Each structure stands twice: as structure tokens, then as C-alpha cells.
Amino acid sequence: MGFYRDTKRHYWQCGQCDLVFVGQEFLLSASKEKAEYDLHENDIFDQGYRRFLNRLAQPLLEIITPPAKGLDFGCGPGPALQDMLQSAGFEMDIYDIFYAPHKAVFDRYYDFITATEVVEHLHNPHWELDRLWSRVNPQGVLAIMTKRVQSQAAFATWHYKNDLTHVCFFSESTFRWLAEQWGATLTFPAADVVLLQKP
């Protein structure tokens, strides 16, 4: 059903899981999408960026212990989270459709998978998240960082929707629906962080 419309895009909301998303006609081509990401300055050694990522890393480190093996999905050109978690004693693989397209990661299993500021970019989020979940070991964790939809009124003035590479927007109820589908334990350790743990 229709959720919101602005001068650039029309946003829909799934009647089943509450995901807010744009129509196919608003999805950028791969070349335009990558051109946007190339403008990002996510320096692996930038302390501000590492503090930002720590909002996800810290609660994750409270439930996993070395020598667990992890995957940083959507690591971008500067895989700072990989560096942080390797320094904490974890074995890490990385994947990014543009910067680290190592498809072999989807043939492996992981004790945890991180996805920081990436799920809002997915053109086929249900398929992609199911694929990630299938790679998580029993008792493993899928850790996601993304800003969440609060309400239709707040969405109208939300800067997050103005990035044209942001094409789907999750809410607490979306993650609750996912957890129910997967039989996962769900926690919200921060306003933009969610942890889903396998039985």
C-alpha cells in the first residue's frame, strides 16, 4: 500500500512485514549506485567512523567470543569493522558487491554476520537477508545497523530517505516479523542496531 510520496520518489509499505520501500522504477543502476558510494570517505583508521561502528560491535562482543568466525557483509571500500573485530581475536571474511565481490563467502557458514548501513541499499531485501541467515551457524548472530522508520509523520522529514541509494526502510515491527519467520531471538541494543540470534 502507498506510504508516502515526495518530489523524487513514491514509497510503499508491505502489508505483511511493514517494510517501507521504493518501486522498481526508482532503483539506481549499478554504475550510478557505485558512483555514490565512491564519494563516501569511510577511512579504516578514522576514529569517528570506528566509534560509529562500535555501536554495533560492542553489543555483539557481549554475546560472541573468539575464535568465532565472522563475515562483514557490505563492508564498503574501507572495511574498518573487519579490522576492529580481527583485532579482538575473530577470524573475518568480507563481502561487498562492488568492493569485495568474493562470492565464495556464500558457500561458508559463520558464527556471526554483520551488516552495517547496508540493508537499506538492498534491491531484494527478503531474498538477501534469507541468504545471509542461511549462512549463520546455530547459536550464531546476524547483527544489523540501519536507521529505523518510526512513523509516517517522522518519515516525511527524515533525512535518511533522501539518499537515493536508500531504497528500503526497516522498522521494529519489520525486524519482529523477520525474527518470527526465522525463530530468532531478537534484541535492540541501540536505536539503529538489531541483533538476531539463532536457536
Tell me which residue has cell 509516517.
152
Domain span including residue 169: 2-197
Distances from the Cα of 146 to the Cα of 25, 140, 170, 191, angstroms: 23, 20, 8, 9
Q: Mean pLDDT of all residues in the chain? A: 96
Supply φ then ψ for residue 22, to 5 degrees: -95, 160
Beta bridge partners of 73: 95
Q: How many domains does the chain have?
A: 1
Per-residue model confidence (pLDDT) at position 43: 78
pLDDT-derived band at 136, boundaries 50, 70, 90: very high
How far apart, in whole angstroms, are the C-alpha atoms of residue 90 and residue 158? 36
For range 115-130, the mean pLDDT: 98
Residue 158, domain CATH: 3.40.50.150
pLDDT-derived band at 1, boundaries 50, 70, 90: confident
Share of the chain residues as helix, strand and coil, in percent rounded to the nearest 5: 35, 25, 35
Tell me which residue has cell 541467515.
133
pLDDT in tens, 36-76: 998 877 778 889 999 999 999 999 999 999 999 999 999 99
% pLDDT > 90, the chain:
94
